[in-house]
């Protein structure tokens, strides 16, 4: 590095890096820093090059770790950076490209070194590298300024105060990335960090007053989806034909130095071009999720989570003052629009979950929207393509649906939204269907996929809970949706009979067994019967509350009436079967009276007439089916590894060696 173009192969022998990591102390006022920071560097473009960068920097980093406690050169570099950031805002206003570029380079080097240090040592050891102070006679007992806290605070100020322009995009991105790296110590611990030096700085002291502004800025970075500036928009133009060294250096930076941390793997098979379209938005969202999931301090709740839980709509003039000191206002319409557009990424779905679950202002606003299909359709598409998604992404999408279906207004309105030509639904051509019927189809498909592949009881439970919440509000079900409800019950019935037969055979064989352990079919039978009862309750809820609105369901029920025969006298289902049996008997009688060889249209007409004639008091009333999502007692045990797996698999991914990661296994995401 220095005032020449650098390549990966040259790094171990680069004279400026060797001096930085060497045994000689460099004063923060030394002209060396201007030379070190005037570099251009060809950005790695693939995983192989990223690995080469790691390997090439090993000797430099090893030397720095060994010598820095004595030289304090990292401390000096950080102080050089801190002094420059004080003039960044005015430099942006004055279009001072050179100053911004060199300041960015300083932060880039700090970020690279910081990543290595955090990977190799504890926070206490890291702090030693931040607390160097040249000792003079008589000053041995003086306290060192806390440079780590000052750097953290400076990063926050840079993120929230520097205007986002083409010339500041790269340093804004680098500040967010460095912040993420600062918090990455969690990656190298199997246990969830509950007491951390970095956390302490963020929860108290100088960083705390910036909480709401930081959360707001990160949200707006996500909302704006600002694309990276095209090459040439933030570089120096040559003043003469030669242009000189300065132009060559600046052009090198323009080729993409700022993108060095935006390459790598992506979560949930996201398209690479989309990942790169707005690296600042992506990094800001990841940082926001990391901050939101920091554990509470023993005496202080996480202020970043508090800010996310309490912010309000800028359009809400009636908003009352909040007791939360970290609340702020943001444009909900812009936030909603971006969330709808970005649901193909794990992190955007996770943000949507957090907001719906924890921020009542956001939840109320979203449920009042008249265009909920813009939000629900991307969620349904995640579930529909379950084979291509990781399990965490599917769970988040499903829980979002469960939270939405807790609201009766939502359950009514989705049947009023008519959709045309759902191209991604390939099992059947759906030229026209209500959003509610499509939701039912996708959830049932997810259940059937789970029954044949993953067999996850948690997934089953949440799918059935969402259907149960909607069941009393089913309206004008599409004939295909009605068929799939009964088809699912048919599948469950066959599975029940199979398990029952296996249990019977197992019992017989146990009489002449040689003492070897037998499969626990009783438990399997209990699980399948719980699911069957839930399905019967869903059908019963629809018939009891909206029979006259759903002739297609009654038709499907009559068409497959034999399925329900075996459950009429079953002690686990007798009560809930009463209404279903009554409906089947009542409508079967009316159809038989109408004669043989009736058309489908004629049968539906008889069903509609019968629905009006059937006295409602003949149907037994059951308690309304209502299921509410309840977060686990220790949600951080799930969410913190999940968030860091997203970080690892996204922007800064390949800068961490897989063998160093302790928080999760490489296939856990």
Could you give phi then psi for residue 5, rounded to 5 degrees?
A: -75, 135
Q: What is the mean pLDDT of residues 309-322?
A: 81
Please state, in angstroms and rounded to a whole number, the distance separating the CA atoms of residues 40 and 158. Answer: 23
pLDDT one-digit tens code per residue, 277-298: 788 999 999 999 999 999 988 7
The Cα-based distances of 586 to 139, 279, 542, 554, 611 in angstroms read: 96, 62, 16, 11, 10
pLDDT value at position 597? 83
Q: Given a cut of 70, is residue 640 above it in pLDDT? A: yes
pLDDT value at position 637? 87
Is residue 206 within 8 Å of 69, Cβ to Cβ?
no
* CA 524-527-530 angle, 5° bins: 150
pLDDT one-digit tens code per residue, 115-135: 888 888 888 888 888 886 655
pLDDT one-digit tens code per residue, 218-235: 999 999 999 988 765 544
Least confident of 89-93, 227-231, 573-577, 627-631: 227-231
SS3 assignment, position 334: helix
pLDDT value at position 234? 46
Please state, in angstroms and rounded to a whole number, the distance separating the CA atoms of residues 275 and 264. Answer: 9
Least confident of 12-26, 486-500, 516-530: 516-530
Q: What is the mean pLDDT of residues 650-660?
A: 61
Output DSSP code: residue 19. H
pLDDT value at position 133? 64
- 170 Cβ contact partners less than 8 Å away, ≥ 6 residues apart: 104, 234, 253, 257, 258
- pLDDT band at residue 255, thresholds of 50, 70 and 90? very low
More confident residue, 257 or 326: 326
Please state, in angstroms and rounded to a whole number, the distance separating the CA atoms of residues 167 and 254. Answer: 10
Output DSSP code: residue 13. G
pTM: 0.88
Q: What is the mean pLDDT of residues 197-214?
A: 91
Q: What is the mean pLDDT of residues 643-669?
A: 67
Assign 3-class secondary structure to 537-555.
HHHHHHHHHHHHHCHHHHH
Q: Given a cut of 90, is residue 14 above it in pLDDT? A: no
Q: What is the mean pLDDT of residues 93-110?
A: 88
The dihedral through the CA atoms of 304, 308, 312, 313 has a sign that is positive
Q: Given a cut of 70, is residue 642 above it in pLDDT? A: yes
Is residue 75 within 8 Å of 130, Cβ to Cβ?
yes
Q: What is the mean pLDDT of residues 563-586?
A: 91
Please state, in angstroms and rounded to a whole number, the distance separating the CA atoms of residues 338 and 351. Answer: 11
Q: Given a cut of 70, is residue 598 above it in pLDDT? A: yes
pLDDT value at position 119? 86
Rg over CA atoms, the chain = 31
The Cα-based distances of 361 to 260, 321, 356 in angstroms read: 38, 13, 9
Q: What is the mean pLDDT of residues 499-503?
A: 83
The whole-angstrom distance between residue 626's C-alpha and the CA centroid of its chain comes to: 26
Q: How would you label 366-391 residue by residue, b for 16+ Cβ within 10 Å and e otherwise?
A: bbebeebbebbbbbbbbbbebeebbe
- pLDDT band at residue 620, thresholds of 50, 70 and 90? confident
| Cα dihedral value 374, 376, 381, 383, nearest 10 | 170
More confident residue, 195 or 445: 445
pLDDT one-digit tens code per residue, 527-555: 888 999 999 999 999 999 999 999 999 99
Percent of the chain surpassing pLDDT 70 = 83
Please state, in angstroms and rounded to a whole number, the distance separating the CA atoms of residues 155 and 206. Answer: 12
pLDDT value at position 145? 56
Question: What token pair was written down for 212?
Answer: 């709401």
Is residue 189 within 8 Å of 663, Cβ to Cβ?
yes
Is residue 246 within 8 Å of 236, Cβ to Cβ?
yes
Question: What token pair was written down for 521?
Answer: 């079919």
pLDDT one-digit tens code per residue, 31-50: 999 888 887 765 554 455 65
């Amino acid at each position: 590095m220095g005032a020449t173009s650098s390549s990966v192969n040259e790094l171990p022998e680069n004279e400026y890096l060797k001096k930085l990591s060497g045994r000689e102390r460099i004063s923060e006022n030394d002209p060396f820093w201007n030379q070190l920071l005037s570099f251009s560097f060809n950005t790695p473009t693939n995983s192989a090059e990223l690995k080469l960068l790691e390997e090439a920097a090993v000797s430099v980093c090893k030397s720095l770790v060994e010598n820095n406690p004595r030289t304090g050169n990292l401390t000096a570099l950080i102080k050089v950076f801190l002094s420059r950031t004080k003039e960044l805002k005015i430099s942006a206003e004055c279009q001072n490209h050179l100053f911004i570029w060199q300041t960015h380079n300083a932060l880039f080097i700090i970020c690279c070194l910081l990543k290595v240090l955090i990977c190799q040592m504890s926070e206490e050891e890291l702090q030693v590298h931040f607390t160097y102070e040249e000792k003079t006679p008589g000053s041995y007992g003086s306290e060192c300024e806390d440079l780590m806290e000052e750097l953290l605070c400076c990063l926050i100020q840079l993120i929230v105060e520097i205007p986002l322009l083409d010339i500041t995009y790269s340093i804004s991105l680098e500040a967010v990335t460095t912040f993420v790296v600062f918090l990455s110590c969690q990656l190298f611990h199997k246990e969830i960090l509950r007491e951390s030096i970095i956390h302490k700085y963020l929860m108290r002291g100088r960083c705390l007053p910036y909480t709401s502004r930081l959360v707001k800025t990160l949200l707006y970075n996500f909302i704006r989806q600002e694309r990276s500036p095209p090459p040439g928009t933030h570089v120096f133009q040559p003043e003469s034909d030669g242009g000189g060294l300065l132009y060559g250096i600046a052009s090198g930076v323009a080729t993409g130095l700022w993108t060095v941390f935006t390459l790598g793997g992506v979560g949930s098979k996201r398209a690479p071009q989309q990942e790169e379209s707005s690296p600042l938005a992506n990094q800001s969202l990841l940082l926001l999720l990391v901050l939101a999931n920091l554990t509470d301090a023993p005496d202080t709740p996480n202020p970043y989570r508090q800010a996310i839980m309490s912010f309000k709509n800028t359009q809400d003039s009636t908003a009352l003052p909040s007791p939360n000191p970290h609340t702020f206002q943001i444009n909900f319409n812009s936030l909603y629009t971006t969330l709808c557009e970005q649901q193909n990424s794990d992190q955007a779905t996770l943000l949507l979950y957090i907001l719906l679950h924890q921020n009542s202002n956001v939840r109320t606003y979203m449920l009042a929207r008249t265009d909920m299909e813009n939000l629900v359709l991307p969620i349904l598409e995640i579930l529909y393509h379950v084979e291509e998604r990781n399990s965490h992404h599917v769970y988040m999408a499903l829980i979002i649906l469960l939270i939405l279906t807790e609201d009766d207004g939502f359950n009514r309105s989705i049947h009023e939204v008519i959709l045309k030509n759902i191209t991604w639904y390939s099992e059947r051509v759906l030229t026209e269907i209500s959003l509610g019927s499509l939701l039912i189809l996708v959830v049932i498909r997810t259940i059937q996929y789970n029954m044949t592949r993953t067999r996850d009881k948690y997934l089953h439970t949440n799918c059935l809970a969402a259907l149960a919440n909607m069941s009393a509000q089913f309206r004008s079900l599409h004939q295909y949706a009605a068929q799939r409800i009964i088809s699912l019950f048919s599948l469950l019935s066959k599975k029940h009979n199979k398990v029952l037969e296996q249990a019977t055979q197992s019992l017989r064989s146990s009489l002449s067994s040689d003492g070897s352990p037998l499969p626990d079919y009783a438990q399997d039978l209990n699980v399948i019967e719980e699911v069957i009862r839930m399905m019967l309750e869903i059908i019963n809820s629809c018939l009891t509350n909206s029979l006259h609105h759903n002739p297609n369901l009654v038709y499907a029920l009559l068409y497959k009436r034999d399925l329900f025969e075996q459950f009429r006298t079953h002690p686990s289902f007798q009560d809930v079967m009463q209404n279903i049996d009554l409906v089947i008997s009542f409508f079967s009688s009316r159809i038989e009276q109408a004669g043989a060889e009736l058309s489908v249209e004629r049968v539906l007409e008889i069903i509609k007439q019968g629905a009006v004639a059937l006295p409602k008091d003949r149907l037994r009333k059951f308690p309304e089916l209502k299921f509410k999502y309840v977060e686990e007692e220790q949600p951080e045990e799930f969410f913190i590894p999940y968030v860091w797996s997203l970080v690892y698999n996204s922007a800064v991914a390949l800068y961490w060696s897989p063998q160093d990661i302790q928080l999760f296994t490489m296939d856990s995401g």
